[in-house]
Structure 1
Protein backbone atom coordinates (compact mmCIF):
# COMPACT_ATOMS: atom_id res chain seq x y z
CA UNK A 1 0.00 0.00 0.00
CA UNK A 2 1.18 3.53 -0.77
CA UNK A 3 0.54 6.07 1.99
CA UNK A 4 -0.19 9.65 0.88
CA UNK A 5 0.83 12.13 3.57
CA UNK A 6 0.02 15.83 3.41
CA UNK A 7 2.39 16.85 6.20
CA UNK A 8 4.32 15.64 9.25
CA UNK A 9 5.82 17.58 12.14
CA UNK A 10 6.83 17.35 15.79
CA UNK A 11 4.88 19.60 18.18
CA UNK A 12 2.67 19.65 21.27
CA UNK A 13 -0.85 18.25 21.15
CA UNK A 14 -3.08 21.30 21.26
CA UNK A 15 -6.47 19.99 22.36
CA UNK A 16 -8.33 17.18 24.06
CA UNK A 17 -7.08 14.73 26.67
CA UNK A 18 -3.42 14.84 25.60
CA UNK A 19 -3.14 18.65 25.49
CA UNK A 20 0.48 19.68 25.99
CA UNK A 21 1.95 16.25 25.21
CA UNK A 22 4.81 16.12 22.68
CA UNK A 23 3.73 14.24 19.56
CA UNK A 24 4.58 13.63 15.95
CA UNK A 25 1.58 14.55 13.82
CA UNK A 26 1.09 12.60 10.61
CA UNK A 27 -1.64 14.16 8.47
CA UNK A 28 -2.92 11.87 5.75
CA UNK A 29 -4.29 13.29 2.51
CA UNK A 30 -7.96 12.98 1.63
CA UNK A 31 -11.29 12.95 3.43
CA UNK A 32 -14.65 11.27 2.90
CA UNK A 33 -16.75 14.22 4.14
CA UNK A 34 -15.27 17.05 2.02
CA UNK A 35 -13.01 17.00 -1.01
CA UNK A 36 -11.03 20.02 0.19
CA UNK A 37 -12.16 22.33 -2.62
CA UNK A 38 -13.59 25.63 -1.39
CA UNK A 39 -16.21 25.69 -4.14
CA UNK A 40 -17.69 22.47 -2.72
CA UNK A 41 -17.52 23.37 0.99
CA UNK A 42 -21.10 24.64 1.28
CA UNK A 43 -22.55 21.39 -0.07
CA UNK A 44 -20.30 19.04 1.92
CA UNK A 45 -21.17 17.08 5.04
CA UNK A 46 -18.34 18.77 6.95
CA UNK A 47 -18.33 22.49 6.20
CA UNK A 48 -16.11 24.00 8.92
CA UNK A 49 -12.76 22.24 8.42
CA UNK A 50 -9.82 24.66 8.75
CA UNK A 51 -7.16 22.20 7.57
CA UNK A 52 -5.50 21.71 4.18
CA UNK A 53 -5.41 17.97 3.53
CA UNK A 54 -5.24 17.97 -0.29
CA UNK A 55 -2.19 16.48 -1.98
CA UNK A 56 1.23 15.67 -0.54
CA UNK A 57 2.93 19.05 -0.87
CA UNK A 58 2.85 20.10 2.80
CA UNK A 59 5.67 20.21 5.34
CA UNK A 60 7.55 16.88 5.11
CA UNK A 61 4.71 15.45 3.02
CA UNK A 62 5.05 12.80 0.34
CA UNK A 63 4.16 9.29 -0.75
CA UNK A 64 5.51 6.28 1.11
CA UNK A 65 5.39 2.87 -0.51
CA UNK A 66 5.99 0.78 2.59
CA UNK A 67 4.83 0.99 6.19
CA UNK A 68 8.35 0.69 7.59
CA UNK A 69 9.52 3.55 5.39
CA UNK A 70 6.82 5.83 6.80
CA UNK A 71 7.39 4.54 10.34
CA UNK A 72 11.09 5.37 10.12
CA UNK A 73 10.32 8.84 8.77
CA UNK A 74 8.01 9.44 11.74
CA UNK A 75 10.68 8.16 14.12
CA UNK A 76 13.20 10.61 12.64
CA UNK A 77 11.24 13.50 14.14
CA UNK A 78 11.57 12.22 17.70
CA UNK A 79 14.46 13.51 19.88
CA UNK A 80 17.32 11.04 19.90
CA UNK A 81 17.25 8.35 22.58
CA UNK A 82 14.07 9.73 24.16
CA UNK A 83 11.23 7.47 25.29
CA UNK A 84 7.48 8.25 25.50
CA UNK A 85 7.22 8.19 21.72
CA UNK A 86 3.76 9.31 20.56
CA UNK A 87 2.31 9.73 17.07
CA UNK A 88 -1.10 11.18 16.19
CA UNK A 89 -2.65 10.25 12.86
CA UNK A 90 -5.03 12.85 11.53
CA UNK A 91 -6.32 14.25 8.26
CA UNK A 92 -8.57 14.73 6.41
CA UNK A 93 -9.76 11.31 7.46
CA UNK A 94 -6.92 8.96 8.51
CA UNK A 95 -9.11 5.84 8.45
CA UNK A 96 -8.95 5.94 4.65
CA UNK A 97 -5.28 4.89 4.82
CA UNK A 98 -4.27 3.87 8.34
CA UNK A 99 -3.81 0.11 8.67
CA UNK A 100 -2.48 -2.58 11.00
CA UNK A 101 0.77 -2.87 9.06
CA UNK A 102 1.74 0.74 9.73
CA UNK A 103 0.72 0.57 13.39
CA UNK A 104 2.77 -2.61 13.88
CA UNK A 105 5.79 -0.95 12.28
CA UNK A 106 5.49 1.99 14.67
CA UNK A 107 4.99 -0.27 17.69
CA UNK A 108 8.22 -2.00 16.68
CA UNK A 109 10.10 1.30 17.07
CA UNK A 110 8.48 2.17 20.39
CA UNK A 111 5.61 4.47 19.41
CA UNK A 112 2.23 4.79 21.06
CA UNK A 113 -0.24 5.31 18.22
CA UNK A 114 -3.25 7.62 18.41
CA UNK A 115 -5.82 8.68 15.83
CA UNK A 116 -8.23 11.58 15.40
CA UNK A 117 -11.07 10.37 13.19
CA UNK A 118 -14.59 11.39 12.23
CA UNK A 119 -15.73 7.90 13.18
CA UNK A 120 -17.47 7.06 9.91
CA UNK A 121 -15.12 4.20 9.01
CA UNK A 122 -13.74 1.21 10.94
CA UNK A 123 -10.37 1.69 12.61
CA UNK A 124 -7.51 -0.77 13.19
CA UNK A 125 -8.05 -2.47 16.58
CA UNK A 126 -4.38 -2.20 17.64
CA UNK A 127 -4.48 1.59 18.06
CA UNK A 128 -3.47 2.77 21.53
CA UNK A 129 -5.73 5.84 21.64
CA UNK A 130 -8.85 6.63 19.62
CA UNK A 131 -10.35 10.12 19.45
CA UNK A 132 -13.63 10.39 17.56
CA UNK A 133 -14.89 13.77 16.36
CA UNK A 134 -18.31 13.44 14.66
CA UNK A 135 -19.13 15.80 11.83
CA UNK A 136 -22.60 16.96 10.75
CA UNK A 137 -25.11 14.33 9.68
CA UNK A 138 -22.47 11.67 8.93
CA UNK A 139 -23.21 8.30 10.52
CA UNK A 140 -20.69 7.31 13.18
CA UNK A 141 -19.91 3.59 13.09
CA UNK A 142 -17.48 3.60 16.03
CA UNK A 143 -19.32 2.67 19.23
CA UNK A 144 -16.44 2.90 21.72
CA UNK A 145 -13.43 5.20 21.96
CA UNK A 146 -11.03 6.69 24.44
CA UNK A 147 -12.04 10.25 23.66
CA UNK A 148 -15.14 11.79 22.08
CA UNK A 149 -14.39 15.33 20.91
CA UNK A 150 -17.36 17.18 19.48
CA UNK A 151 -17.18 20.53 17.72
CA UNK A 152 -20.07 22.54 19.19
CA UNK A 153 -22.61 23.68 18.21
CA UNK A 154 -23.53 21.65 15.14
CA UNK A 155 -27.18 21.57 14.11
CA UNK A 156 -26.92 17.96 12.88
CA UNK A 157 -24.56 16.74 15.61
CA UNK A 158 -25.92 17.61 19.02
CA UNK A 159 -24.20 15.91 21.99
CA UNK A 160 -27.29 13.87 22.85
CA UNK A 161 -27.06 12.11 19.51
CA UNK A 162 -23.85 10.39 20.65
CA UNK A 163 -24.91 9.34 24.14
CA UNK A 164 -24.75 5.68 23.05
CA UNK A 165 -21.01 5.87 22.34
CA UNK A 166 -18.90 4.52 25.18
CA UNK A 167 -16.13 7.08 25.70
CA UNK A 168 -13.75 7.45 28.64
CA UNK A 169 -13.62 11.20 28.08
CA UNK A 170 -16.04 13.65 26.42
CA UNK A 171 -14.96 17.09 25.21
CA UNK A 172 -16.73 20.02 23.56
CA UNK A 173 -14.64 22.21 21.26
CA UNK A 174 -16.06 25.62 20.24
CA UNK A 175 -16.93 25.85 16.56
CA UNK A 176 -14.57 28.25 14.79
CA UNK A 177 -15.93 30.52 12.09
CA UNK A 178 -13.71 29.56 9.13
CA UNK A 179 -14.82 32.68 7.21
CA UNK A 180 -13.13 35.01 9.70
CA UNK A 181 -9.38 35.47 10.08
CA UNK A 182 -9.78 36.68 13.66
CA UNK A 183 -12.03 35.80 16.55
CA UNK A 184 -15.58 36.72 15.58
CA UNK A 185 -18.53 37.47 17.88
CA UNK A 186 -20.11 34.22 16.68
CA UNK A 187 -17.03 32.23 17.70
CA UNK A 188 -16.99 33.87 21.12
CA UNK A 189 -20.67 32.97 21.49
CA UNK A 190 -19.83 29.37 20.60
CA UNK A 191 -17.24 29.26 23.37
CA UNK A 192 -19.78 30.53 25.87
CA UNK A 193 -22.29 27.97 24.60
CA UNK A 194 -19.74 25.21 25.25
CA UNK A 195 -19.12 26.51 28.75
CA UNK A 196 -22.82 26.58 29.51
CA UNK A 197 -23.43 23.11 28.11
CA UNK A 198 -20.59 21.64 30.15
CA UNK A 199 -21.92 23.28 33.31
CA UNK A 200 -25.33 21.76 32.66
CA UNK A 201 -23.95 18.37 31.55
CA UNK A 202 -20.82 17.71 33.65
CA UNK A 203 -19.96 14.49 31.82
CA UNK A 204 -18.65 16.86 29.14
CA UNK A 205 -15.50 18.98 29.47
CA UNK A 206 -14.34 22.04 27.54
CA UNK A 207 -11.29 21.84 25.29
CA UNK A 208 -9.72 24.75 23.43
CA UNK A 209 -7.29 24.83 20.51
CA UNK A 210 -4.30 25.89 22.59
CA UNK A 211 -1.93 25.43 19.65
CA UNK A 212 -3.60 28.40 17.96
CA UNK A 213 -3.33 30.46 21.14
CA UNK A 214 0.38 29.57 21.36
CA UNK A 215 0.86 30.01 17.60
CA UNK A 216 2.47 26.64 17.11
CA UNK A 217 1.73 23.92 14.52
Structure 2
Protein backbone atom coordinates (compact mmCIF):
# COMPACT_ATOMS: atom_id res chain seq x y z
CA UNK A 1 0.00 0.00 0.00
CA UNK A 2 1.61 3.27 -1.12
CA UNK A 3 1.12 6.42 0.93
CA UNK A 4 -0.58 8.02 -2.08
CA UNK A 5 -3.26 5.32 -2.26
CA UNK A 6 -3.63 5.26 1.51
CA UNK A 7 -4.25 9.01 1.55
CA UNK A 8 -6.73 8.74 -1.33
CA UNK A 9 -8.73 6.19 0.65
CA UNK A 10 -8.61 8.31 3.81
CA UNK A 11 -6.95 5.53 5.75
CA UNK A 12 -9.60 3.00 4.73
CA UNK A 13 -12.67 5.14 5.35
CA UNK A 14 -13.15 5.02 1.59
CA UNK A 15 -12.80 1.82 -0.45
CA UNK A 16 -13.14 0.97 -4.19
CA UNK A 17 -16.45 -0.88 -3.96
CA UNK A 18 -17.41 -3.03 -6.94
CA UNK A 19 -20.64 -4.36 -5.45
CA UNK A 20 -22.24 -5.41 -2.18
CA UNK A 21 -25.15 -7.82 -1.87
CA UNK A 22 -26.88 -10.34 0.37
CA UNK A 23 -26.70 -13.95 -0.80
CA UNK A 24 -25.73 -17.48 0.21
CA UNK A 25 -22.06 -18.41 0.53
CA UNK A 26 -21.39 -20.91 -2.23
CA UNK A 27 -17.94 -22.31 -1.46
CA UNK A 28 -15.76 -23.84 1.20
CA UNK A 29 -16.38 -24.35 4.90
CA UNK A 30 -19.25 -21.84 5.14
CA UNK A 31 -21.10 -23.03 2.02
CA UNK A 32 -24.83 -22.61 2.46
CA UNK A 33 -24.53 -19.81 5.02
CA UNK A 34 -26.39 -16.53 4.35
CA UNK A 35 -23.81 -13.75 4.10
CA UNK A 36 -23.48 -10.16 2.98
CA UNK A 37 -20.72 -9.87 0.36
CA UNK A 38 -18.54 -6.77 0.02
CA UNK A 39 -16.52 -7.00 -3.20
CA UNK A 40 -13.60 -4.60 -3.61
CA UNK A 41 -11.88 -3.69 -6.87
CA UNK A 42 -8.22 -4.23 -7.70
CA UNK A 43 -6.16 -7.42 -7.98
CA UNK A 44 -2.40 -8.03 -7.95
CA UNK A 45 -2.61 -11.69 -9.01
CA UNK A 46 -4.72 -11.98 -12.20
CA UNK A 47 -5.66 -15.65 -12.70
CA UNK A 48 -6.53 -16.48 -16.33
CA UNK A 49 -9.61 -18.45 -15.20
CA UNK A 50 -10.88 -15.79 -12.80
CA UNK A 51 -14.67 -15.37 -12.94
CA UNK A 52 -14.46 -11.81 -11.59
CA UNK A 53 -12.03 -10.17 -14.02
CA UNK A 54 -14.27 -7.12 -14.04
CA UNK A 55 -12.89 -6.32 -10.58
CA UNK A 56 -9.23 -6.15 -11.53
CA UNK A 57 -8.97 -2.44 -12.41
CA UNK A 58 -9.61 -0.58 -9.17
CA UNK A 59 -9.71 2.75 -11.05
CA UNK A 60 -13.11 1.77 -12.44
CA UNK A 61 -14.60 1.90 -8.96
CA UNK A 62 -14.52 5.30 -7.25
CA UNK A 63 -13.79 5.27 -3.51
CA UNK A 64 -17.01 4.66 -1.57
CA UNK A 65 -17.56 5.78 2.04
CA UNK A 66 -17.52 2.71 4.27
CA UNK A 67 -20.38 4.14 6.35
CA UNK A 68 -22.67 3.60 3.34
CA UNK A 69 -21.54 -0.02 3.01
CA UNK A 70 -21.94 -0.70 6.71
CA UNK A 71 -25.44 0.81 6.81
CA UNK A 72 -26.61 -1.39 3.95
CA UNK A 73 -25.11 -4.50 5.54
CA UNK A 74 -26.59 -3.74 8.96
CA UNK A 75 -30.05 -3.11 7.52
CA UNK A 76 -30.40 -6.78 6.49
CA UNK A 77 -30.74 -10.00 8.52
CA UNK A 78 -27.19 -11.08 7.61
CA UNK A 79 -25.05 -12.16 10.55
CA UNK A 80 -21.91 -12.76 8.50
CA UNK A 81 -19.92 -10.52 6.16
CA UNK A 82 -17.63 -11.78 3.40
CA UNK A 83 -14.98 -9.31 2.20
CA UNK A 84 -13.74 -10.40 -1.19
CA UNK A 85 -12.47 -9.04 -4.50
CA UNK A 86 -10.42 -8.70 -6.49
CA UNK A 87 -7.89 -8.87 -3.72
CA UNK A 88 -9.23 -7.13 -0.61
CA UNK A 89 -5.94 -7.10 1.29
CA UNK A 90 -4.67 -4.37 -1.03
CA UNK A 91 -6.47 -1.91 1.25
CA UNK A 92 -6.48 -0.93 4.93
CA UNK A 93 -9.50 -2.73 6.34
CA UNK A 94 -9.36 -1.59 9.97
CA UNK A 95 -12.10 1.08 9.71
CA UNK A 96 -14.49 -1.14 7.75
CA UNK A 97 -14.08 -4.20 9.95
CA UNK A 98 -14.27 -2.18 13.18
CA UNK A 99 -17.55 -0.60 12.06
CA UNK A 100 -18.99 -3.97 11.08
CA UNK A 101 -17.91 -5.56 14.37
CA UNK A 102 -19.56 -2.68 16.23
CA UNK A 103 -22.81 -3.84 14.60
CA UNK A 104 -22.25 -7.37 15.95
CA UNK A 105 -21.37 -8.90 12.59
CA UNK A 106 -18.97 -11.80 11.99
CA UNK A 107 -16.33 -11.06 9.37
CA UNK A 108 -14.85 -13.48 6.83
CA UNK A 109 -12.23 -12.58 4.23
CA UNK A 110 -11.33 -14.33 0.98
CA UNK A 111 -7.74 -13.67 -0.07
CA UNK A 112 -4.88 -15.03 -2.13
CA UNK A 113 -2.57 -14.08 0.74
CA UNK A 114 -0.32 -11.80 -1.29
CA UNK A 115 -0.49 -8.93 1.22
CA UNK A 116 -0.60 -8.67 5.01
CA UNK A 117 -3.99 -8.94 6.67
CA UNK A 118 -5.47 -5.92 8.39
CA UNK A 119 -8.53 -5.26 10.49
CA UNK A 120 -10.68 -7.41 12.76
CA UNK A 121 -11.27 -10.67 10.89
CA UNK A 122 -12.94 -13.76 12.35
CA UNK A 123 -12.28 -16.21 9.52
CA UNK A 124 -9.55 -16.24 6.85
CA UNK A 125 -10.20 -18.21 3.68
CA UNK A 126 -6.87 -18.45 1.85
CA UNK A 127 -6.89 -19.36 -1.84
CA UNK A 128 -3.22 -19.34 -2.89
CA UNK A 129 -2.10 -18.88 -6.47
CA UNK A 130 1.09 -20.23 -8.06
CA UNK A 131 2.00 -17.05 -9.92
CA UNK A 132 2.17 -15.06 -6.69
CA UNK A 133 2.49 -17.31 -3.63
CA UNK A 134 1.00 -16.31 -0.28
CA UNK A 135 2.90 -14.67 2.54
CA UNK A 136 4.00 -17.05 5.33
CA UNK A 137 2.10 -14.94 7.87
CA UNK A 138 -1.18 -15.43 5.98
CA UNK A 139 -0.60 -19.17 5.65
CA UNK A 140 -0.14 -19.31 9.41
CA UNK A 141 -3.36 -17.36 10.00
CA UNK A 142 -5.57 -19.30 7.56
CA UNK A 143 -8.69 -20.95 8.96
CA UNK A 144 -9.49 -22.46 5.58
CA UNK A 145 -7.18 -23.35 2.69
CA UNK A 146 -9.13 -23.51 -0.56
CA UNK A 147 -7.01 -24.39 -3.59
CA UNK A 148 -8.41 -24.11 -7.11
CA UNK A 149 -7.54 -27.18 -9.16
CA UNK A 150 -7.34 -26.72 -12.92
CA UNK A 151 -5.12 -29.73 -13.70
CA UNK A 152 -4.12 -32.74 -11.58
CA UNK A 153 -0.67 -31.20 -11.15
CA UNK A 154 -2.25 -28.43 -9.08
CA UNK A 155 -2.77 -30.95 -6.29
CA UNK A 156 0.96 -30.82 -5.62
CA UNK A 157 0.63 -27.05 -5.19
CA UNK A 158 -2.22 -27.65 -2.78
CA UNK A 159 -0.13 -30.05 -0.70
CA UNK A 160 2.79 -27.62 -0.66
CA UNK A 161 0.57 -24.94 0.88
CA UNK A 162 -1.08 -27.41 3.25
CA UNK A 163 2.32 -28.17 4.73
CA UNK A 164 2.55 -24.55 5.98
CA UNK A 165 -0.87 -23.98 7.55
CA UNK A 166 -1.82 -24.64 11.16
CA UNK A 167 -3.34 -27.88 12.40
CA UNK A 168 -6.80 -26.29 12.79
CA UNK A 169 -6.97 -25.11 9.16
CA UNK A 170 -9.63 -26.84 7.06
CA UNK A 171 -8.37 -28.09 3.69
CA UNK A 172 -10.38 -27.85 0.45
CA UNK A 173 -9.75 -28.76 -3.17
CA UNK A 174 -12.04 -26.89 -5.55
CA UNK A 175 -12.37 -27.72 -9.26
CA UNK A 176 -11.89 -24.78 -11.59
CA UNK A 177 -15.36 -24.19 -13.01
CA UNK A 178 -14.57 -24.63 -16.71
CA UNK A 179 -12.83 -27.97 -15.96
CA UNK A 180 -15.44 -29.23 -13.50
CA UNK A 181 -16.41 -32.45 -15.30
CA UNK A 182 -12.80 -33.49 -15.94
CA UNK A 183 -11.41 -32.57 -12.53
CA UNK A 184 -14.13 -33.71 -10.09
CA UNK A 185 -13.44 -37.46 -10.56
CA UNK A 186 -9.73 -36.83 -9.90
CA UNK A 187 -10.48 -34.88 -6.74
CA UNK A 188 -12.96 -37.47 -5.47
CA UNK A 189 -10.37 -40.21 -5.68
CA UNK A 190 -7.65 -38.03 -4.18
CA UNK A 191 -9.82 -37.01 -1.22
CA UNK A 192 -10.82 -40.62 -0.61
CA UNK A 193 -7.14 -41.57 -0.46
CA UNK A 194 -6.23 -38.46 1.55
CA UNK A 195 -9.23 -37.79 3.82
CA UNK A 196 -7.82 -34.71 5.50
CA UNK A 197 -8.87 -32.97 2.27
CA UNK A 198 -12.45 -31.98 1.52
CA UNK A 199 -13.94 -31.05 -1.85
CA UNK A 200 -15.48 -27.62 -2.35
CA UNK A 201 -17.71 -26.91 -5.32
CA UNK A 202 -19.21 -23.61 -6.42
CA UNK A 203 -22.72 -24.29 -5.17
CA UNK A 204 -23.89 -20.78 -6.04
CA UNK A 205 -23.34 -21.48 -9.73
CA UNK A 206 -25.57 -24.54 -9.56
CA UNK A 207 -28.16 -22.47 -7.66
CA UNK A 208 -27.84 -19.61 -10.20
CA UNK A 209 -27.33 -16.97 -7.52
CA UNK A 210 -24.58 -14.33 -7.17
Is the 1:6–1:54 contact (alpha carbons within 8 Å) kept by the matching residues of 2? no
CA 1:145–1:121: 2 relative to 1, 3 Å: same
**Which consecutive unaligned segments of at least 5 residues does structure 2 have?**
1-8
Distance in 1 separating the partners of 2:58 and 2:83: 15
Structure with greater proportional helix content: 2
Q: Is the 8 A contact 2:97 2:119 kept in 1?
A: no
Per the alignment, residue 41 of structure 2 pairs with 29
Q: What's the C-alpha RMSD, in Å, of the aligned pairs?
A: 2.2
The answer to whether the 8 Å contact 2:45/2:131 transfers is no
Residue in structure 2 matched with residue 73 of structure 1 by the alignment: 72
Number of matched residues? 190
Q: TM-score, normalised by structure 2?
A: 0.82
Would the aligned equivalents of 2:93 and 2:119 in 1 still touch at CA under 8 Å? no
- Residues 108, 4 of structure 1: alpha-carbon distance in 2 compared, 3 angstrom cutoff: same
Matches within 5 A, 1:159-178: 159-162=158-161, 163-166=163-166, 167-177=168-178
Q: Which runs of 5+ in 1 are unaligned?
A: 35-45, 178-185
Distance in 1 (CA, whole Å) between partners of 2:16 and 2:165 is 30
Q: Contact 1:6–1:55 at 8 Å: present in 2 too?
A: no
Q: C-alpha separation between the residues in 2 aligned to 1:9 and 1:68?
A: 15
Residue 63 of structure 2 aligns to a residue whose secondary structure is strand
1:31-110 mapped onto 2 (5 Å cutoff)? 31-34=43-46, 46-51=47-52, 52-54=54-56, 63-65=63-65, 67-76=66-75, 78-79=76-77, 85-110=79-104
- The DSSP-based 3-state class of the residue aligned with 1:158 is helix
